[in-house]
Amino acid sequence: MPGSTTSIRPGDSLDEAIHHRHGTCPHPGSRCRSHPPVRRAAPHGRAGDLMAHNMAHNRRTPTGPGPNLVTMTAPADLTRLGLAECREVLAGTEKLVGDHSAMWAALREAEFQRSGPASNLLGRVNHLFVDDFRRRREDVSPRHPFFTGTLDNGIRYLGDARDWPSALHAVDPGCNSLLIDALGRELARRPGNYVDVGTNIGVVASSMATQLGTRGKVFAFEPSPDTMRLAASTVALNGLDNVTLFNAAVSDSDGELVFQTTPGNSAIASPRRHNFGLLNEWQEVTVPAVRLDTLHAAGELEGVTLLKIDVEGHELSVLQGATGFIGAALPTVVYEYTPVAARDNGWSEQDSMALISGAGDYEFTALGEGDGRWVTFPLPEGYTDQVNVVARPRDLPAGDTRQARGRWRRRGR
């Protein structure tokens, strides 16, 4: 773009990267660690203007339940990125992209020698594969850590070769297909707009946006600035103009949230540190936080029929801040339930069901992330695997109910 003479540098945060790219840094010779990003007085419609204030001036808004929602407005300081801003983020990563195909080939071959084809890695990752990746990521050059890849469904993405989820997608491009296919079926049954809470590098959100095309919009939320950079680039790589990316956490209150990021394993970043056992290199950052109820009351989440939540144990807090939205929109709600993470965060299956059922008449089932089996929810006794819970409203809008229920019965689920 005109005036964009510098590129993102290794180690820059997202806001630093953007104002370096536009030459707006008040300390151009530094890495900007000594000053907070500030909001410009007059917006210019550029990614830099949207992001430069990302970690400052987060206005706190009242958080009353029920009728109080109608008086609330969306926090003005939330960073929202459309396709134009995402393209600017992608342009700033070009000099950081390297060729890591040899690394993926080596990981794939090692996994084949151990247990056969390197597929369905999410269901059978073992410590040998983890240790292999841990060793190889140490050799990734910080000057060229990024790479582009393609999923089995054709979605392109920007990954970080030092990041565990990126590596999984590179070694097994279909590793997330169970969830993507399940969400796609839900949108086919009941077309509408889609909300993705915990979008990570953006592959699921981009898959849904591609399926929807001009028929729907995607609202995606990613609080980690570094991971948000990858998500924005993924949106740009696929040319998706129906996606709005929010660089914010979704929670049960509006304002700020102390967030635990995990360089090397963005999949486990969350407000609470937990012992995942893989690349727990925790760093603390304060991020903007918003309730879905707040955004819905402000008219930003109209026409939503599907809500997906994957926030590493913070799911109940997201639901607590979304009961008004769920009650009004009656979307299908798909949320991750990991028994250990839920327990560490102090909530149970019944707690999540009670919140959703309090907002509407819902029925629940669950899809195993490892084996792809559909099981009852609450989970059967002795079932300890991670699942994606699917909560469907029993009374869908006229014209959708029979179709949804009929297809579900025919598939035996």
Sorted by where each starts, the structural domains of the chain and their CATH numbers stand as 1-57 (no CATH), 96-171 (no CATH), 177-410 (3.40.50.150)
Residue percentage of the chain with pLDDT more than 70: 72
Secondary structure letter of residue 396 according to DSSP: P
- Provide the pLDDT for residue 260: 79
Backbone φ, ψ for residue 196 (5° rounding): -120, 105
Tell me the pLDDT tens digit for each residue of 80-95: 999 999 999 999 999 9
Give the chain's mean pLDDT: 79
Q: What is the pLDDT of residue 40?
A: 25
pLDDT tens-digit readout, 203-234: 999 999 999 999 999 999 999 889 999 999 99
Classify burial at 383, counting beta carbons within 10 Å of its beta carbon; exposed 0-12, middle 13-18, buried 19 or more.
middle
- 134-149 burial string, b = 16+ CB within 10 Å, else e? eebbeebeeeebbbbb
- First and final C-alpha spacing in the chain: 51
Tell which residue, 379, 283, 391, has the closest CA to residue 338: 379
Quick check: helix, strand or coil at residue 275?
coil
Distance of CA 412 to the CA centre of its chain: 30
Query: For 267-305, b where at least 16 C-beta lie within 10 A, e where not — what string?
Result: bbbbbeebebebbeeeeebebbbbbbbbbbbeebbeebb
Strands 387-393, 362-368: parallel, antiparallel or unpaired by DSSP? antiparallel
Q: What is the mean pLDDT of residues 119-125?
A: 52
pTM for this predicted structure: 0.80
With a cut of 80, say whether residue 319 has pLDDT above it. Answer: yes
Name the 3-class secondary structure at 335: strand
Q: Which segments of 323-400 does DSSP mark as H helices, in order?
A: 323-329, 339-344, 349-359
What does DSSP say about strands 193-197 and 304-309: parallel, antiparallel, or unpaired?
Answer: parallel
Contact between 295 and 249 under an 8 Å Cβ cutoff? The reply is: no
> Which sign, positive or negative, has the C-alpha torsion 270, 272, 275, 279?
positive
Residue 267's nearest CA partner among 100, 366, 121, 110 is 121
123-182 pLDDT, tens per residue?
555 677 788 888 998 999 999 999 999 999 999 999 999 998 899 999 989 989 999 999
Assign 126 to helix, strand or coil: coil
Hey, which of 11-15, 171-175, 358-362, 384-388 has the most confident mean pLDDT? 358-362
Q: CA quadruple 371, 376, 377, 381: dihedral positive or negative?
A: negative
Q: What stretches of 298-348 show up as alpha helix (H) in DSSP?
A: 315-320, 323-329, 339-344
